[in-house]
Amino acid sequence: SQELEQSPQSLIVQEGKNLTINCTSSKTLYGLYWYKQKYGEGLIFLMMLQKGGEEKSHEKITAKLDEKKQQSSLHITASQPSHAGIYLCGAVLDLGGGADGLTFGKGTHLIIQP
């Protein structure tokens, strides 16, 4: 099973509309990262959330961390074509040994329609 579930998997939104992407963990979260990826390119760091209830904003993108629900949401206000891409959440999870570093969700493909 996937430790980090992102929803929706894909999203088509009309330009100017708001949208929300969710990332839910099946294991205890120790920190959560949001990245954006343009198709076939590298990942661009957006935000890092470490404490429950923490909320951060960057331009029109806001992310929150709900530690109790082990969930984070990414909200884009008044979407623009430049927001299109793949949004990935990555988290530090207690996996009981094995890989260090971030575990990633499968990503949310965001398309902005003019």
Chain contacts with another protein (rule: CB under 8 A): 2, 30-31, 33, 35, 40-45, 48, 88, 90, 92, 98-107
Look up tokens 């206000």; give the residue: 77
Task: Kindly state the smallest distance separating residue 15's Cβ from another protein, in Å.
Answer: 27
Rounded least distance, CB 39 to another protein, Å? 10
Closest CA to 99 of 1, 35, 3, 17: 3
- Write down the least CB distance from residue 31 to another protein, Å: 6
The pair of structure tokens assigned to 70 is 């082990």
CB of 41 to another protein, least distance (A): 6
The amino acid at residue 26 is S
According to DSSP, residue 17 is labeled: -
Cβ nearer to another protein, comparing 85 with 90 = 90
79 contacts 18 by C-beta, under 8 angstroms: yes
Comparing C-alpha atoms, which of 2, 8, 1, 19 is closest to residue 61?
A: 19
Both tokens assigned to 34 = 């949001």
- Pick 44 or 78: Cβ nearer another protein: 44
Pick 29 or 79: Cβ nearer another protein:
29
Give 5 or 77: the residue with its C-beta nearer to another protein: 5
